[in-house]
Every structure is written in structure tokens, then in C-alpha cells.
Amino acid sequence: MAMRLALILFYASMTASLVFGLADPSWWMLPAALAGWYVADAASGLIHMYMDYRPTREGLGLDRLYFYEGSRESAEYQAMFRAAMRKLNPIERLVYDFKNHHPRPHALGRRKLGRQINSTVVFGTLPLSLLLNAACVAFAPPGWLVIGLLVMLVGGTYAQYFHGTLHRETNPWFVQMMRATGLLMTPEAHEKHHATLRQDFSTNCGWSNPVLNRVFAAMRARGRMADAGLEPR
Ligand SMILES: [Zn+2]
Ligand SMILES: [Zn+2]
């Protein structure tokens, strides 16, 4: 119930900013939208990088879940999974999902939309969207800026959904269309991440991957992002 209210508030807040932005149209909206899409892609990559390499909390049985060899449909596994997930906060659940998606990428594709976007909305894009509403009232920013920020929020909100579409055989028409125009990356391009786990962390359009790959290499050179964080212990 609380989640449904949060989603209603989120979409109402985004619609309010959209109406505000469109009331002041200009050609600057196009580059602003592309820039917003780029920033959302970079955010998806930075968060993915952090989650992949952030160690999980020990002693919760996450290692047993991760390395479980029997059937994941079994009652034993399902009970273990639910018990472990209850002890995690939403960020820790995301951390586990990112790590788990490396050996089992299709699990992410099967997750329901809510599991993919709800924590992003509650902890990320809803507060930012409300701030944008407040900024519209207080400072009356130009329409192109509002549209660019809105596009960024849309890209950020659906980042895990878009990542999931890279690990699913069938996708809605708009995903195919966005891939064809380069607004979303292809599964082949995302394979480069899964091949090494050391590059191409961005999962929306992938435009920011060349820059983020340099960031990752620089952090590794400083001894950060150690391989030990990649799997639960
Ligand atoms: Zn990863
Ligand atoms: Zn993936």
C-alpha cells in the first residue's frame, strides 16, 4: 500500500514537472534530453560498479544462497532465500541482486518490474523528482533544463528494468525500437561486461562506458575494487 502511494506520488510529481517544462518549449530540449539520457546511463554504470564490488554482510547465509547447488525451485532454497532477504535492507538486496546476476543473468530478466524499480524510486528518483517540483516553483528554470532533468530521472528509474531486458529473450516493441535507434544498448554489447566484470558497467544506452572504463581502471590501479567483493562470503 505504501509502495503504491509512493508510485502514485512519483508519477504525479513527474507529470507536474513535464507540464511545467513543456510550457516553455525550445530547441534546446533535444540536446538537454540527450544529456539527461547520458547522465542516467553514467549513473547506472557507477551504481552497478559500486554494487558489484561492495562486499555483502557476512553471517546472513548469502554465500549459501549464492553457491547453492540444488534446485532453486526447491522448498529448502526458497525458504533460505526468503529468510535471508528479510534480513537485508533494500540497498543490500540490490547488492545481492547485482552479484547474483553474474552467474545467473536470466534471474534479473525474470524479476518483476516492482522488484527492479521500487527501491530506486523510493530512495532515489522520488526525492529527486520532488526536489525538481520545488525548484520549478522557487526558481522557474527554463523548460529545456526541466526536460533534461526529467529524462535523466526516467533513465535512472528504469535502469534495472532496462538491464533486465538485456537478459530476456522477448521484450516489448519500444525496447526493440530504442535498441534500433541506439537509445538502449544491445545484449551483445552488454556481454562485454559479463565476460570480465571489469568493464562496461553502464546498462542503459552504454554511451558512458568509455569514460567509466577509465574510472574503473584508475580505481583498480589504486587498489580499490578488489575481486574479493564480487561474491558473497
Ligand atoms: Zn556486474
Ligand atoms: Zn547483466
Ligand nearest to the CA of 99: 1
Q: What count of Cα atoms within 13 Å lies in the side-chain half-sphere of residue 222?
A: 6
Q: How far is the CA of 139 from the centre of ligand 2 (A)?
A: 40
Q: Which residues contact 196 (CB under 8 A, 6 or more apart)?
A: none
Mind listing the pLDDT tens digit for each residue in 125-151? 999 999 999 999 999 999 999 999 999
Q: What does the block give as the cell for 140?
A: 522557474
Ligand nearest to the CA of 197: 1
For residues 175, 9, 139, 157, the Cα torsion angle rounded to the nearest 10 degrees is -30
Whether the CB-CB separation of 215 and 205 falls below 8 Å is answered with no
Cα diameter, the chain: 58
How far apart are the C-alpha atoms of 131 and 94, rounded to whole Å? 24
221, pLDDT greater than 90: yes
Q: What is the full DSSP assignment across 165-187?
A: HTT-S---HHHHHHHHTTSS--H
Q: Say which residue the cell 544462497 belongs to.
A: 65
Confidence of residue 119 (pLDDT cuts 50, 70, 90): confident
Mind listing the pLDDT tens digit for each residue in 142-176? 999 999 999 999 999 999 999 999 999 999 999 99
Mind listing the pLDDT tens digit for each residue in 58-102? 989 999 999 999 999 999 999 999 999 999 988 898 899 899 999
Q: How far is the CA of 18 from the centre of ligand 2 (A)?
A: 31
